[in-house]
């Protein structure tokens, strides 16, 4: 079994459990892990898939536009381990992975042990994602709102300066 925790994206916080041999990721509705087609723009329609090979789960990029990243490294194919974090395009949705052995326990944990032993440490992310501005710029509605905000801000500064200079001129002429 594999458990997927979405840590970033429109569906952040969801947890999905899978026992099947194929799991598809992307913005298309037929994907088992379907990302929001209007928000998760860094993910492709058909982005990647995970296939079970024996006791392992193997992630493969299936020709995505922005690439697939595991723990900050771009990959074409990789064996998944507990603690891995998959990112679907820089700044795109992120999924943290938990791989369970055929007994249903995480690897390195027997039924008598009390502390799980991950095969790799979980990655840490600090600050906003690198693709935040790119995501805003690619979406025409967000881009227009962003540009209007800048325009209104510039006009406010210009008119405030004109108002202050007019006030100063009036006060000095009195």
Q: How many CB atoms lie within 10 A of CB 25?
A: 27
> For residue 118, what pLDDT is reported?
46
> For residue 18, what pLDDT is reported?
95
Distance, CA of 91 to CA of 102 (rounded, Å) = 33
> For residue 169, what pLDDT is reported?
86
Q: Name the stretches of the chain with pLDDT < 70.
A: 102-141
Decide if 28 contacts 46 (C-beta within 8 A).
yes
> For residue 128, what pLDDT is reported?
47
């Amino acid at each position: 079994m594999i458990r997927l925790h979405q840590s970033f994206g429109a569906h952040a916080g969801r947890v999905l459990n899978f026992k099947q041999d194929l799991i598809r990721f992307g913005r298309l509705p037929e994907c088992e892990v379907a990302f929001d087609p209007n928000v998760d723009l860094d993910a492709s329609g058909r982005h990647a898939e995970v296939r079970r090979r024996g006791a392992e789960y193997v992630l493969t990029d299936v020709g995505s536009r922005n690439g697939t990243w595991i723990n900050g490294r771009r990959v074409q194919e990789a064996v998944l381990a507990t603690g891995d974090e998959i990112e679907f395009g820089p700044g795109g949705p992120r999924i943290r992975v938990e791989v369970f052995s055929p007994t249903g326990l995480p690897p390195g944990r027997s039924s008598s042990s009390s502390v799980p032993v991950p095969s790799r440490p979980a990655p840490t992310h600090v600050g906003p994602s690198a693709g935040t501005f790119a995501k805003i710029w690619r979406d025409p509605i967000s881009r227009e709102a962003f540009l209007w905000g800048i325009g209104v801000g510039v006009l406010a500064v210009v008119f405030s300066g004109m108002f202050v200079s007019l006030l100063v001129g009036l006060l000095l002429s009195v």
